[in-house]
Structure 1
Amino acid sequence: MRYCVVGALIGLIGLSPALAQNGDRKGHDKMGKIVPEDLIPSAPVLSVDEALKTFTIEKGFVIEPVAAEPLVDKPVALTFDPSGRMWVCEMRGYMPDIDGKLESRATGRIAILEDTNGDGKVDKRTTFLDKIVLPRAISLVPGGILYGDQNNLYFVARDGDKPKGKALVVDDKFAPGGNVEHKTNGLMTGIDNWLYNAKSNARFKFIPGENKVIKESTAFRGQWGISRDNFGRLFHNSNSTLLIGDRVLPNLLNGNKSAKMKAKTTERIGSNAVFPGRVTPGLNRAYISSHNGYSSNTIDPKTFKLTNATGACGPVIYRGNNLPASVNGNGFVCESSAQLIKMIGIEDENGTLKGSHPLEKRDFLTSTDERFRPVNMYNSPDGSLYILDMYHGIIQHKTYMTTYLRGQTLSRGLEGPGYGHGRIYRIRSSSKPLAKVEDLAKVSDIELIKKLDSPIGAVRDLAQKELIDRNADPKPIVAALATGAAADLTNIHLLWTLEGLGALRAKHLVGALTSKNEELISSALYAALSLTDSELIKLESLVAAVRATAMTAPYIARILAATPSPVAQEMLVALLKKHHGVSLVREAAIS
């Protein structure tokens, strides 16, 4: 094998202030190539059919295209509407050339993608909005959409699939400062009906009829991509940490703005080890190697593959019914610089999240195509998982690009084409059919309530949101709760739907607070924070009967602290004496 060490030319580049790259570190003047040149494959632009041949996926699963160019171009984020159509943010301006000179041009778009004949593939595209600078987040709201660009959060009214009027800035500090890799993204609806983001400490709620948002502080989370589990806990990550999970429901400890909380509220879930399907010379700091005299190795000096994540993004917690039950609740994470998807097992041990790597020393999906750039993943209404692939040669932003990576990029022609490619893939079971996607916009409120019992998380979420957006009559929802026949997970959605409609009352929480399911109990206690003082007092005897466990105790503390009565305060004191060593309980009590 022949090592092609960067010689005089790269040495001169490293010494020249005019030619050095923004990502070059002081003292990192040894940037010799690490991977033997004869092991590095070429990186031509592949058709979708050709790209499919480069994938290796775990047995029992299938990867197939849902949409590709020219129907989609550099997809980075999406949301589903009640009809099951995708609304996709296309960040066409991201690094269109090696120097990112044209990045600030308003080339981004929001497109509606739909499957009109039911064959599982997109056959119709409607450009809803264009001339956007680096769009990165989208949420459908009554009467229009919210979307985030490089700086602001906007509301755009709509008439069907067409915008109506000009975009209104509803938050001019949505994505402040930083570069494109480090700006707010997400707008994911939480179980509590708030919109949450990565790379942000703000959450939002849209006010129908007023065309504005409420903005509140929340814990700072992640970098790119955000997801949640069935309970409602949020999951996120950073480029070098595959998966991070919140230990409690969002904002449980954010009620007291004057208190600085110190409790550990997140857990790193599993290790950051990755197992690419190809050599990985195209990493920003692959030059950090014993071959170049460094004390550590970014890539394995024997296999020449990345060993730990450096481009992790777009996590999702699988909540569908198409993939095997054994992976339900698992995390899936994109590693865009190493062309792979990681699967992480997640377990809750007495309120503490633990991670495992069920596939051990291999990854769920790998590709040998260097242009495969998975950047986000979503649960689909058909029960499968969707992957957004920018399909772009350059994934590292100019702010951090090193001289080494620039050379790697140019050597394989990865600097172009700047536009015109992008794919959305589906991961499904090889042995189970996909669920039929129903148009929830056309069903009755009663049918929507039934959908809250769907085994598909994306369907439950859409049904909950649609009921709230319609301002549905709460009586049938209350009736569904009153039967006591609904599953625990369904009851969580029923309660939060009532909360979103402003119709939740103490009497609606009786069944949940007397159940044996700790997630349902905890969710009910948290939802109760939206009640008036007089309604909270009605819950005293029920709360007193709830067993305080590692999971429920913080929620009990928070609700007792919020209840304005001597009885509640006495119960809180007793709880704190028993759990004085648990920081989550102490801090929930002063939230």
Structure 2
Amino acid sequence: MFQNQIATKTLVIIMALGSLASCKDKPKVNIDFLSLSEQDKRNPENALSSMEVEEGLNLGLFASEPMVTNPTNMAIDAKGRIWVCEARNYRLFANPDNTYDDSGDRILILEDTNGDGKADTSKVFYQGEDINAALGITVLGNKVIISVSPNVFIFTDEDGDDVPDSKEILFQGIEGVDHDHGVHAFVFGPDGRFYFNFGNNGKQLLDKNGEAVMDMHGEEIVANGQPYREGMAFRMNIDGTNLEVLGHNFRNPYEITIDSYGGLWQSDNDDDGNRGTRINYVMEYGNYGYRDLLSGANWRERRTGWDNDIPKRHWHLNDPGTVPNLLQTGSGSPCGILFYEDKMLPQKFQNQPIHAEPGHNVVRAYIIGEAEAGYTAKIENLVKSKDDWFRPDDVTIAPDGSLFISDWYDGGVGGHKAEDIARGRIYRLSTFPEYSSVAIDPKTENGAVKGLLSGNMDIFYQSWQKLNSMGEAAQPLLKELMAKGGIAKARALWIGSYIPTKSNAYIEMALQDEDPKFRMQGIRMARFKGTENLEKYLSLLANDKSPQVRREAAIALRFLGTEAAAEQWADLATQHTAGDRWYLEALGIGADKFPELYFKAWRNKVGENWQSEAGKEIVWRIRAKESVPMLVSLIKDQTVPSTKLASYFRALDFKDHPGKDNYLMDMLTWNHPLKNQIQAYAIGQMDSKFVYSSPKNIKMVKEVLPKIEGTPEWILAIKNLELKNQNEALFRVLANGSNSDIGKEAANLLLDNEGATLIDTFLHSQAPESSKMAVLERLSGISNPTAIALLKENITSQELGHALTRKMIETLGNTGSGQEELYQMLKEDRLAEEYKTTTVLKLMTSWNNEIRTNAPKFLTAQGDGSLDISKLVELTGNAAHGKEVYGTYCSSCHLAAGTGIEFGPELSDIGNKLSKQFLYSNIIYPSAGINFGFEGYSFKMKDGKTYTGYILSRTEDEITIKMMGGTQKTVELEDITEQKALEQSLMTQGLANIMPETDLVDLVAYLETLKIATEEQ
């Protein structure tokens, strides 16, 4: 029955290229793309004219609409056919103008039957609503793996007729349905195992029976911090057994790739607008720092010693236990990635990761270099487009070694909105335009030997299976392959390790190789075979001259926990070089399961020499109780650099010791050159129960507070210890402090402590207007009833002048309860005409539908509600004036080029991420494209208050909300009576209809200039 259902849905479309699109026969490449109209730029015949291609390579348009639309991921089979996941039904709730196809999305098979480099047939392998907006496809022989949250499906085509005969569930229960941050594509590795990942909305894995999946170490696969958080990368045997979490705490790694030696690479997307996208070398079992490892708190929440550089702060790189990034690439929207191990592309791209980056309209390689135990990377472009609709989202290797590129082709980069669902392209990058099939039959011995060297995953998979099935009979063929060296040798060694009677010999062969890449592979092979002989194998490498080999040896000790393993770890630790964070984190990963045992072995080995710079770093990183008094002694050292203090105190957060609070209290009495700093850090980390357990402790803390006034630790102490009688100091920090974030926090505490009269007195004083403006700025977003009443009274009295009154309206309008007061004032006509525009702009951001809808009626509309985006995109605006428009309409919720308030997504790179058409669309229809992480919620509390904003972080007991104006509010879950997701964006609704069209055009012109160059290193 299943097969008949599939057959009725399957279409085979055979088209001559002329009937598909005459443009494909004669692409217009000798035209000036930038001179074209916006409409003409969208036409496929002009696509190649926008491309800048690496010298010596040919880029061809293999397929385009209407043959293919909205491709999200590709695979290429052993015949050279292109399998494509389409996503025409992507996020239709955010795209109401797009028509839902109730037949569901399609898996297409595209083929070039005449070898001219252009697809001329299209076949539907499967269509159904159960694969809507799939994000991953893998074709391996007669199996097709489709990744589409909440499921991972395995389709099987038993008879080779390109119609699936069965569909099974491999995994289910994965969250992120119709969401970019769910489950992604599977990869078959050279070690004969599957690799895949999911983003931070994936949350969990359930098996086909709906039961929780446990990893091979007995941990449940769920992102609750016990022990795993956020996005994860996985490995498992081909039958689904022995699943491992290879890394966690990613945000959204779109795809993972593996090289022939077993090295893992992937990209990761940042929270929008923070220029923190990254490429990771995945050091196995590592934490990658998207959320606070201890609490799950958002990276924006203050912690001791965070980096002033937001892209670095974003990944908690200051925390012990966070693996460093290979490369931070600034802004972007990283997607598909592969490790190119074929021969067609120029040599500099061979044996390097190649990556699709739609945010910058580019496909590029990362040229890898070695740096002690880690790596460096340098960016080299292969294809870069002048068309800001070029959105490459996947790269795949064909049997002939050419590179295929899928292009989502849209004004935006996924997320929540698709500007267009009718377009999509597939390109082929090669050294010659003809696309001929490769005569390899992996079912034969000779074909399998050839196919094992292919960069095409399907050919490689089938060849691997053939040679592996031969057992000992494959050894002559493996010997032939190993004689070639390089990836041939690496892949042959993996297959050799599967031969039961010969596996030890192949492992030892790899471990004794002169090339460190093979020695690293040998460690991975030994780990795969189990722990029985692992200590013996690792003893061969304890003093290896390569720090990268020693890095892998340290990781391999993670699950052993024997005295012998501890001695080996100690030997590796004595070879740590100060400043090598990769090696240090490998030591940490290796010791984290048995920190007391491993650390003690090292301590016994180094004796008092532990205070070398390298030894101090080991004390900082390893989570043994014994390390706590050692770390305290480093803090107490009279010569400790001030730059080290925050790092040392942050390390204390990750360590348990029964006397830790006593150590912190004792620090308040030290006579030290850095006494004030040490006291600040110590008091900020103290446990409240410990402080209040003794009057002496309370007295000591209160004596220190004035000395650290205005520091982040001072704020933390007042919060954590619930200290009263600090209003005068809180107001000083609010009014005069140099740090606006701390000023906001001080304002919140002041108002909670009934200190509003200090603010009101100041606003009516002779202080400079600029100082009063700064105070109002720091009150923005605070929903304390006292603050609301204070602002309302002063707005009504109009005693403070136009500028301050306008600022108070903006401040009041950044809270839900403040908006209600402003709306009432509008209805009762208690606002002067000159303030109504400002008021309405704030009210148009309200979650309350009545307020949001009716507020504009109190103004004379500038527009008629019928803006034509297709006409607007052809207009040229004044960017200089647009910057002023931005200041009027946008800066109260967005940051751009350092100006504004951080509430909505930062716009500093919006010109790279969104086309002109998409910019207009987002302004005119903001609720159609809400950025991930900025979905609005309203929270009703037991005390009658309502908070509106988006969720920064959630723990078992509380939620931290970011509200309009940039203020954060942490509320207890038990105090929430109702949590409601808002259907509307928190961005101003209908903004375009109350501003003059010229202002809108100028605003978009300014936003187009907001581009930040990709960081290269």
Using the size of structure 2 for normalisation, the TM-score is: 0.43
2:98 and 2:110 mapped to 1: Cα distance? 29
In structure 2, relative to structure 1, the CA distance for the partners of 1:489 and 1:196 (3 Å cut) is same
Measured after TM superposition, the shift of residue 515 of structure 1 is: 1.0
Paired residues of 2:57 and 2:430 also in contact (CA < 8 A): yes
The answer to whether residue 256 in structure 2 is matched with residue 226 in structure 1 is: yes
Measured after TM superposition, the shift of residue 217 of structure 1 is: 2.4
2:190 and 2:180 mapped to 1: Cα distance? 27
Please name the residue that 1:144 is paired with. 143
In structure 2, relative to structure 1, the CA distance for the partners of 1:427 and 1:577 (3 Å cut) is same
Give the alignment partner of residue 428 of structure 1, picking from 408, 430, 438: 430
Name stretches of at least 5 consecutive residues in structure 2 with no aligned partner: 1-33, 200-230, 295-318, 579-583, 594-1017
Please name the residue that 1:314 is paired with. 336
1:380 and 1:425 mapped to 2: Cα distance? 12
The answer to whether residue 576 in structure 2 is matched with residue 571 in structure 1 is: no
Please name the residue that 2:590 is paired with. 588
Measured after TM superposition, the shift of residue 244 of structure 1 is: 0.8
Measured after TM superposition, the shift of residue 114 of structure 1 is: 2.7
2:246 and 2:566 mapped to 1: Cα distance? 26
Give the alignment partner of residue 269 of structure 1, picking from 323, 327, 338: 327
Please name the residue that 1:170 is paired with. 170
1:58 and 1:230 mapped to 2: Cα distance? 26
The answer to whether residue 378 in structure 2 is matched with residue 381 in structure 1 is: no
In structure 2, relative to structure 1, the CA distance for the partners of 1:51 and 1:213 (3 Å cut) is farther
1:102 and 1:557 mapped to 2: Cα distance? 55
The answer to whether residue 85 in structure 2 is matched with residue 83 in structure 1 is: no
Please name the residue that 1:340 is paired with. 362
RMSD: 3.8
Name stretches of at least 5 consecutive residues in structure 1 with no aligned partner: 1-37, 273-308, 402-413
Please name the residue that 2:681 is paired with. none
SS in 2 for 1:49: helix
Query: How far does the alpha carbon of each residue in 1:67-106 deviate from its partner, in whole angstroms, 9 at most, with x for none?
Result: 3334322211112223333222111212568447656955
SS in 2 for 1:320: coil
Paired residues of 1:495 and 1:504 also in contact (CA < 8 A): no
1:379 and 1:569 mapped to 2: Cα distance? 43
SS in 2 for 1:180: coil
2:118 and 2:88 mapped to 1: Cα distance? 22
Measured after TM superposition, the shift of residue 64 of structure 1 is: 0.6
One-letter code of the match for 1:386? F
Query: How far does the alpha carbon of each residue in 1:254-306 deviate from its partner, in whole angstroms, 9 at most, with x for none?
Result: 9xxxx99954434242543xxxxxxxxxxxxxxxxxxxxxxxxxxxxxxxxxx
Paired residues of 1:226 and 1:316 also in contact (CA < 8 A): yes
One-letter code of the match for 2:576? H
1:206 and 1:537 mapped to 2: Cα distance? 23
2:514 and 2:435 mapped to 1: Cα distance? 31
Query: How far does the alpha carbon of each residue in 1:44-73 deviate from its partner, in whole angstroms, 9 at most, with x for none?
Result: 474433211222324333211223334322
Query: How far does the alpha carbon of each residue in 1:100-154 deviate from its partner, in whole angstroms, 9 at most, with x for none?
Result: 7656955211122233333333333221110131111122356532212242111
Measured after TM superposition, the shift of residue 438 of structure 1 is: 2.5
SS in 1 for 2:483: coil
Paired residues of 1:506 and 1:539 also in contact (CA < 8 A): no
| Higher RCO, 1 vs 2 (CA within 8 Å, ≥6 residues apart) | 1
Paired residues of 1:506 and 1:538 also in contact (CA < 8 A): no
Give the alignment partner of residue 235 of structure 1, picking from 255, 266, 288: 266
Pairing of 1:10-89 with structure 2 (within 5 A): 41-44=37-40, 46-89=42-85
One-letter code of the match for 1:366? K
In structure 2, relative to structure 1, the CA distance for the partners of 1:557 and 1:415 (3 Å cut) is closer
1:534 and 1:98 mapped to 2: Cα distance? 56
Query: How far does the alpha carbon of each residue in 1:439-489 deviate from its partner, in whole angstroms, 9 at most, with x for none?
Result: 54554134313443x3x5336x74255423785212244344556624043
Measured after TM superposition, the shift of residue 571 of structure 1 is: 3.4
Give the alignment partner of residue 489 of structure 2, picking from 491, 513, 525: 491
Larger CA deviation: 468-477 vs 382-391: 468-477
2:258 and 2:325 mapped to 1: Cα distance? 14
One-letter code of the match for 1:115? D
Measured after TM superposition, the shift of residue 381 of structure 1 is: 2.6
Pairing of 1:196-207 with structure 2 (within 5 A): 196-199=196-199, 200-203=231-234, 205=236, 207=238
Measured after TM superposition, the shift of residue 155 of structure 1 is: 2.0
One-letter code of the match for 1:234? W
Please name the residue that 1:14 is paired with. none
SS in 2 for 1:153: strand
In structure 2, relative to structure 1, the CA distance for the partners of 1:181 and 1:527 (3 Å cut) is same
Answer with 1 or 2: which has the greater Rg: 2
One-letter code of the match for 2:456? A
Give the alignment partner of residue 217 of structure 1, picking from 242, 245, 268: 245
2:484 and 2:357 mapped to 1: Cα distance? 39
Measured after TM superposition, the shift of residue 516 of structure 1 is: 1.5
Pairing of 1:528-567 with structure 2 (within 5 A): 528-536=526-534, 539=537, 542-543=540-541, 547-559=544-556
Paired residues of 1:468 and 1:497 also in contact (CA < 8 A): no
Query: How far does the alpha carbon of each residue in 1:492-528 deviate from its partner, in whole angstroms, 9 at most, with x for none?
Result: 2122234567776211122211111111111111111
SS in 2 for 1:588: helix
1:68 and 1:234 mapped to 2: Cα distance? 30
Query: How far does the alpha carbon of each residue in 1:533-565 deviate from its partner, in whole angstroms, 9 at most, with x for none?
Result: 544466366445x61532011222344566798
Please name the residue that 1:511 is paired with. 509
One-letter code of the match for 1:224? Y
Q: Which of the two has greater helix per residue?
A: 2
Please name the residue that 2:184 is paired with. 185
Please name the residue that 1:134 is paired with. 133
In structure 2, relative to structure 1, the CA distance for the partners of 1:590 and 1:130 (3 Å cut) is same
The answer to whether residue 182 in structure 2 is matched with residue 154 in structure 1 is: no
SS in 1 for 2:154: strand
Please name the residue that 2:108 is paired with. 111
Please name the residue that 2:122 is paired with. 125
Paired residues of 1:79 and 1:88 also in contact (CA < 8 A): yes
SS in 2 for 1:183: coil
Please name the residue that 1:22 is paired with. none
Please name the residue that 2:216 is paired with. none
2:281 and 2:506 mapped to 1: Cα distance? 27
Measured after TM superposition, the shift of residue 389 of structure 1 is: 0.9
Please name the residue that 1:352 is paired with. 374
Paired residues of 1:95 and 1:103 also in contact (CA < 8 A): no
Please name the residue that 1:246 is paired with. 281
Paired residues of 1:247 and 1:267 also in contact (CA < 8 A): no
Please name the residue that 1:286 is paired with. none
1:190 and 1:472 mapped to 2: Cα distance? 17
Please name the residue that 1:29 is paired with. none
1:434 and 1:550 mapped to 2: Cα distance? 45
1:89 and 1:392 mapped to 2: Cα distance? 16
In structure 2, relative to structure 1, the CA distance for the partners of 1:365 and 1:253 (3 Å cut) is closer
Q: Which of the two has greater strand per residue?
A: 1
One-letter code of the match for 1:138? I
Using the size of structure 1 for normalisation, the TM-score is: 0.70
In structure 2, relative to structure 1, the CA distance for the partners of 1:335 and 1:99 (3 Å cut) is farther
Paired residues of 1:98 and 1:394 also in contact (CA < 8 A): no
1:242 and 1:504 mapped to 2: Cα distance? 44
SS in 1 for 2:553: helix
Say how many residue pairs are matched: 483
1:468 and 1:373 mapped to 2: Cα distance? 35
SS in 1 for 2:325: strand
Please name the residue that 1:195 is paired with. 195
